[in-house]
Amino acid sequence: MPDALAAANVLDRQITRRSRLLTLPALLVIGVFGVLPLLIIVVYSFLAPAPYGGVEWHFSTEAYVSFLFQEDIFDGTLSFVPDFLLIYLRSLIYAVVTTIVCLFLGFPTAYFMATRPPRQRGFWVLLITIPFWSNLLIRTLAIMMIIRDQGILNGIMIDLGLIKQPVVMLYTDGAIVLGLLYSYLPFMVLPLYSSLEKLDFRLVEAGFDLYATRWQVLRRIIIPLAKPGIIAGSLLVFIPALGAYVAPLILGGGRHLMIGELIAQQFGTSRNWPLGAAQAIILMAGVMVALFFYVRNTGGKVQHG
Amino acid sequence: MAEALARKGLDLKHQPGFHAIAVICLLLLYAPILVLAVLSFNSGDDLVHFSGLSTQWYGKALANEGFHAAATNTLIISVTSMILSTAVATAAALGTTRTRAWRGQGAAFMVINLPLMVPEIITAVATLSFFSLLASLANINFGIGNLILAHTVFCIPFAYMPIRARLEDMDVTLENAAADLYATPWRAFRRVTLPLLMPGITAGAALAFIVSFDDFTITQLVAGPGQTTLPLFIWSQIRRPITPELNAMCSILLGISILFVLASYLIARKRA
Amino acid sequence: MMDQPVAVQRAVRRARLRVPLPAEFDNLADPKPANALEIRNVEKIFGAGEHAFRALSGVSLQIRPNEFFTLLGPSGCGKTTLLRLIAGFEYPTAGQILLQGEDIAAQPPFRRPVNTVFQNYALFPHMTVAGNIAFGLEMLGKPKDEVAATVTAMLKLVRMEELKDRKTSQISGGQQQRVALARALAPHPKILLLDEPLSALDLKLRKDMQIELKRLQHETGITFIFVTHDQEEALTMSDRIAVMSRGQVLQVGGPQDIYDRPANRFVANFIGETNFLEGNLTQREGEQARIVLPSGASLIASIPAAFASSGKVSIVVRPEQARLVAGAEPGALAGTIENIVYFGTDTHVHLKLDDGPPFIVRQQNRREVGAVPSIGARAGVIVPDGLAQVLGD
């Protein structure tokens, strides 16, 4: 009877329409105030800088060119200037180091948490979650206050007579990496924990049953099975670390610039918005490459801790 | 050897050294903030040597005018962003979960999660450019509304996740039962779906609040004069010689974050 | 996607906004129709093209008022789909569903005076027992005192008075089931649908609930439509049974009808235990016929009047209709005992007849002193006249 079928079709379409309507506000807000600004900086990267900040609306590839080259003001020749590239390289190294150390520290931690009795696990997760949601600025400040020359570490060492002069810890490479580590360690632990918690330990038993040592079981059974968590965690550390702003700002003292500060500078004191935009686009390209590898490796959705 | 094993039990899950590393990690994660917090109770003004317990710095911090102004701004911005983003995220979760699949649903999901993918500094400069363009081209400036809008954008995915998770866990037959018992779709939503969704919405709102409350990077680049938030205010205090007053202010902020995390955790636990 | 006439769209939209009172159905032209529910030629196809799945084809049923009607069949036969069509969670691809003469097939569930007891109970976890029971009445806009009175009456009906303020997550499975029943009965629907409600209960509880359900149906006078795959349950509880398989109704009738006179092989096999024999129809007289078996032995079987063909036929004999005899008796089917299975109340003797087919005889254990058959012994089976049944297919 066409009536009932008709009713079913109308109902289907009503449901679909309602779903779209419900999702619309979120898409509008993020579209207008999230995606549109990103498109604007893409456009900005192809414009010329205005003298006091902002842009002048004529097309120019000056920003991208000046990323690698500098024009000699006298004869107009272009010479290769590696400064920006070095900053990117430095950021890349920091991010990679941070990710690796986070992995080596985070994996045992996540494993330990996942192997606690079920009732205890909630407690351990809570312990990791608190730093995860705490203010990043304040956590980084806490580190700064400890490692600076008048800070508590130096103070204790001098008091104990271990050293005479304060050891310079702040404003070094190590300080920045420490800051990055501290910031992003929970980002590694949570996805790893999520992955390891779902591990079927009977597979571990099977490994032992087949004469494997603890190390072999770890290397050939546990780690491969935890791969999704490892990849998710690594991505959640690498991407923010690459574009980090707070850690180098507070712990780097302007001496070991990272990409984040560099971009901020262009929009601040250097008043070269198109250059900043170009630098941001290049960073974004790097992020997308990392994301591309992630999607290829897992074939799908982003996992969150 | 066998007796020892029998006594202890062969713990298959044990990996040597992992326990130690885990404990060290957690200690390292908490040590700096604990030091910070402890020093805020220092009765002297030295940040190295502890002279005694005192809450004087908290008194100073709470009396600080700049701190007040920043707190007011932060409250306005974060509460508004929380409300806006949670409302929008709830609607979006209802539209994308457990419902008949529609074309573009996957893309919508990606857009909703976009703010999580983009490094904060890029979002910050993009937002700055957007609002300056708006101001110069069309003379539109929402004042503190600029910050609120910027915050709402990145709060949405944080509110969305717990709501969606809660929705997916819900039994579909409950809504069938409601319809069977003469509830129209709207009434079924109000009497059955919404009450059961509340823990997820609350958790989402808490997360949205924390994320907005703690934000530094985006706020620093987008904020105009007079729009100082608490994190920005603390940042400005670092230029001066540091006293435990700063520690006290930091501890207050940390305390608020921890409070929200605990609340969120307890709400989630209650429903499990 | 067909483009619907605007009138249909508007009608559906309007229907979704209004909630009816089951009382509407009381004011129809024919207040005492012959059928409480009639299902006419209903088809349901899921999906389209190659992935189309025909869940129901050409289903027609007439269910009478105040009847305990059961849909019986193996999983996948379409009984749950049919139930969902009656409740309104799906719409039929073709056909009509007539409630007291009105076609409700296009109505959404909240516009049908039909209530469901779900398989997983679907109790609202954030409401108390009383709150759950009151829900349907509240949705219908009944005044508060009427709601309270009905809730109390329902609690008494299912014997759950002390638990009325408990949260539904804190009561046992059997108690949840009774709350689900009370909740569905409270609005006094025209029809109550029960979707395998007893499948999650253990045996003792299930038997108790079967008696409960019969009592409730009698006391309320509401038509019950019960879905199950357990044929024993169907036989004990139903006024009438519809046996379904693969989306079609194979036979409708009372429990005795279905059991004694199965219409086809599937029904015979699905309900109870059966013996199948093949033979030749040689003589026919009214409702009886002589069937000659390959071994030469013959017996008199009942035959449906409408049975037209002749020649090779299949007959069914229920194990308890046959009698075991010691050796070769005249008129008995001869065979060898292969297995003896003891069941407490009775014994099943498995024989292999001389001409091939297996045969099971069921004997009640009367504890008389007498010959106890042993495995390997020769024995005979006597099927009294008329107890065998010729199968329709």
Q: B126-144 b/e with 16+ CB inside 10 Å = b? A: bbbbbbbbbeeeeeeeeeb
Q: Could you tell me which residue, B23 or A255, shows the higher pLDDT?
A: B23
**Residue A263: which of B25, B121, B269 has the nearest Cβ?**
B121
**What is the per-residue pLDDT for C19?**
47
Q: Do B180 and C109 count as a contact with CB atoms less than 8 A apart? A: yes
Which CATH code, of 3.40.50.620, 1.10.3720.10, 3.20.20.70, 1.10.10.10, is assigned to A83-298? 1.10.3720.10
CA count, 13 A, side-chain hemisphere, A21 = 6
**What is the per-residue pLDDT for A303?**
45
Assess whether pLDDT exceeds 70 at residue C299.
yes
When the pLDDT of each residue in chain A is averaged and rounded to a whole number, the result is 85
Q: What angle do CA B123, A181, A195 make, to 5 degrees?
A: 85
Q: Could you tell me which residue, A155 or C177, shows the higher pLDDT?
A: C177
**What is the per-residue pLDDT for A299?**
58
Which residues of chain A neighbour C95 with C-beta distances below 8 Å? 1, 4
Q: Do C126 and B196 count as a contact with CB atoms less than 8 A apart? A: yes
Amino acid letter at C214?
Answer: K
Q: Would you list which residues of chain C are within 8 Å, Cβ to Cβ, of chain B? A: 16-17, 19-20, 87-89, 108-110, 114-116, 118, 120, 122-126, 135-136, 139-140, 183-184, 187
Helices (H), chain C: 6-17, 79-87, 129-139, 144-157, 173-185, 203-220, 231-237, 255-260, 265-270
- Please list the residue range(s) of chain A that carry CATH number 1.10.3720.10: 83-298
CATH no. of C26-260: 3.40.50.300
Measure the CA–CA gap between A55 and A274, rounded to whole angstroms: 7
**What is the per-residue pLDDT for C82?**
95
Same structural domain for residues B77 and B143?
Answer: yes
Q: Residue B48 corresponds to which tokens in the numbers above?
A: 């190295």
Size of interface A-C (CB pairs under 8 A): 48
Same structural domain for residues B139 and B251?
Answer: yes
**Backbone phi, psi, residue C100, to 5°:** 50, 40
Q: Which residues of chain B have pLDDT under 70?
A: 1-12, 45-48, 271-272
**Residue A151 near residue B46 (C-beta atoms within 8 A):** no
Report pLDDT digits (tens) over B192-243.
999 999 988 998 999 899 999 999 999 999 988 888 999 999 998 887 777 8
Mean local confidence (pLDDT), A256-274: 88
Measure the CA–CA gap between B261 and B254, rounded to whole angstroms: 11
**C344: which residues sit within 8 A by CB, 6+ positions away?**
C365
Which residues of chain A neighbour B235 with C-beta distances below 8 Å? 137
Residue C9 pLDDT grade (very low, low, confident, very high; cuts 50, 70, 90): low
Measure the CA–CA gap between A95 and B154, rounded to whole angstroms: 23
The pTM (predicted TM-score) of the whole model is 0.81
Range of the domain at B37: 14-54
**What is the per-residue pLDDT for C17?**
47
CATH number of the domain at B153, please.
1.10.3720.10
A13 touches chain C (CB under 8 A): yes
**Backbone phi, psi, residue C86, to 5°:** -70, -40
**What is the per-residue pLDDT for B106?**
84
* Three-state SS at C289: strand
Q: DSSP readout, A238-288?
A: HHHHHT--HHHHHHSTTTS--HHHHHHHHHTTT--HHHHHHHHHHHHHHHH
Q: Residue C231: which of C202, C273, C181 has the closest Cα? A: C273
- Which chain C residue is nearest to residue A7, measuring alpha carbons? C106
Q: Residue C15 corresponds to which tokens in the numbers above?
A: 């229907």
Angle between helices A36-44 and B120-138 (to 10 degrees): 80
**Residue B179: which of C20, C109, C124 has the nearest Cβ?**
C109
What are the counts of helices (DSSP H) followed by strands (DSSP E) for chain B?
13, 0
The total domain count for chain B is 2
Q: B82 lies in a domain? A: yes
Please tell me which chains touch A, using 3 or more CB pairs under 8 Å as the contact test: B, C
Mean local confidence (pLDDT), C29-47: 79
Report pLDDT digits (tens) over C232-265.
999 999 999 999 999 999 999 999 989 988 888 8
Among C133-142, C262-271, C323-332, which stretch is predicted with the lowest mean pLDDT? C323-332
* Surface of A (102-161) touching B: CB under 8 A: 105-106, 108-109, 111-113, 115, 122, 126-131, 133-139, 141-143, 145-146, 150-152, 154-156, 159
CATH class, domain C276-390, is mainly beta
Beta bridge partners of C352: C336, C358
Residue A305 pLDDT grade (very low, low, confident, very high; cuts 50, 70, 90): very low
Measure the CA–CA gap between C10 and C64, rounded to whole angstroms: 33
Same structural domain for residues B150 and B255?
Answer: yes
Same structural domain for residues B259 and B219?
Answer: yes
ipTM (interface pTM):
0.85
Mean local confidence (pLDDT), A20-32: 92
Closest CA of chain A from C58, distance in Å: 12
Which residues of chain B neighbour C80 with C-beta distances below 8 Å? none
Beta bridge partners of C325: C380
Amino acid letter at B137?
Answer: L
When the pLDDT of each residue in chain B is averaged and rounded to a whole number, the result is 86
Measure the CA–CA gap between C193 and B180, rounded to whole angstroms: 10
Q: Residue A87: which of A254, A294, A302 has the closest Cα? A: A254
Residue A156 pLDDT grade (very low, low, confident, very high; cuts 50, 70, 90): confident
CA count, 13 A, side-chain hemisphere, C204 = 0
A98 to each of A169, A178, B192, how far by Cα in Å?
17, 8, 47
Assess whether pLDDT exceeds 60 at residue C22.
no
Residue spans of the domains in chain C: they are 26-260, 276-390
Same structural domain for residues B101 and B31?
Answer: no
Measure the CA–CA gap between C329 and C322, rounded to whole angstroms: 14
Same structural domain for residues B179 and B92?
Answer: yes
Report pLDDT digits (tens) over A34-87.
999 999 999 988 888 887 777 788 888 888 888 887 777 777 777 787 888 888
Q: Residue A213: which of C76, C222, C284, B12 has the closest Cα? A: B12
Measure the CA–CA gap between B229 and C43, rounded to whole angstroms: 65
